[in-house]
Every structure is written in C-alpha cells, then in structure tokens.
Amino acid sequence: MIRVVAKGKLKPGVRVEDYVMLAKELVAETRKENGCLSYALHEEVNDPTILTMLEEWADEEALGLHNQSVHVLKIVPELRKLRESIEVNIYREVK
Amino acid sequence: MIRVVAKGKLKPGVRVEDYVMLAKELVAETRKENGCLSYALHEEVNDPTILTMLEEWADEEALGLHNQSVHVLKIVPELRKLRESIEVNIYREVK
C-alpha cells in the first residue's frame, strides 16, 4: 500500500468554498477507481488556506492510472489555477 | 477525528537506520495511548531522507496528551538532533 500527501496552498483572495466545490467532484470520482483505498480532502486546523488530499492506494499502478484518469485531467488544472503551490509526497510505511 | 502529517528531513550524513531505530520505539509506545487510532513512520519513495509520521487521533485532547507523554518527551529531542527540519500539519476532513 502507498500513501500520498498532496498539500495545496490557495492563492491570496481565492475563496475556500470555490476550491472545495471543485475538489469534491474529484473526490467523488476518484473513490470509484480500482485500487483507491481512501481519498479525502482535509483542511489545516490552523490555516484554512492549506487544503490537503490524503490518499491511500493499493499500489503504484493504481496511482498511475488515477493520474491519467478523465476526472484528474479535467479537474486538476482547474484546481491548479486556484493554488499558489502544491507539494506532493508519496510514502511507504517503514515497518 | 484529526490527522497529523509530521514531515521530517534528515541532516546530511545521518543514517536512515539510526533515525528509524529511535522512531520505532516512539511508534510502539504511542500506539498504546488512548485515542491513538493509527501512528506509523513512512519513507518518501523518491527521497529516503524524508521520514514522515502519519497519525490519526480521536480528538485534539488525545493529541495534546500524546505531546506531553513520557516517550515523546524522551525520544523526540533525540530525533530532533538527527533532523534538519520538521513540518507539522494538523488536519480535519472536509466533508
């Protein structure tokens, strides 16, 4: 299993609700994918302009297919317009 | 439920195994705590010097007690000596 943390920072002046509305469509579609174990948008408790997707995938193949999915190719460019930055890390548990 | 992402970057020259050995003791003790739903060390797939704790807590009270626990007060300063930086974010799911 692999975990992804995709930490986004909104541009100044962007409304959190606008970002969340777009992201909700991405969440709904992504959860239907094979190999998606969990996928959820999170807000930073101390900074509402930080919005982070926390994800769990069966394997790298499933993540790769997700990154080429119709909903990612459609919605992610729209989210990108609202973000100042994004920091993506892919993790494996150390046992 | 709240989630924590504590992303650490090792100092140049520090051995990953030395960090992992210390962190494993912290993981074992933390998992015994009330309100700890999950707590696991992760390595970045593309950069082995990034070591991140991914955590799930029942509530902020449980996290607060964790931060004052004997094992945190004993082990975290040792981990800190091996890290160049740490970035901690606390999240709630946006539903």
For B50-91, the pLDDT digits (tens) are 999 999 999 999 999 999 999 999 999 999 999 999 999 999
Q: How far apart are CA A41 and CA B55, in angstroms?
A: 16
Of B20, B51, B92, the CB nearest to A42: B92
Q: How far is CA B45 from CA A4, A86, B42, in A?
A: 10, 18, 9
Q: How far is CA B90 from CA A34, A46, B5, B64, in A?
A: 28, 8, 7, 12
Length of chain B measured in residues: 95
Mean pLDDT on B3-32: 98
pLDDT digits (tens, 9 = 90+) for B26-46: 999 999 999 999 999 999 999
pTM comes to 0.97
Q: What is the pLDDT of residue B61?
A: 97
Q: Which helix (H) or strand (E) holds B91?
A: strand B83-93
Which residues in chain B are contacts of A54 at CB distance < 8 A?
3, 5, 91
Q: Place B1 in a pLDDT band, splitting at 50, 70 and 90.
A: very high
Interface residue B65 vs chain A (CB under 8 A): no
Mean pLDDT on A42-67: 98
Interface residue A7 vs chain B (CB under 8 A): yes
Q: What is the pLDDT of residue A17?
A: 97
Of B2, B44, B94, the CB nearest to A20: B94
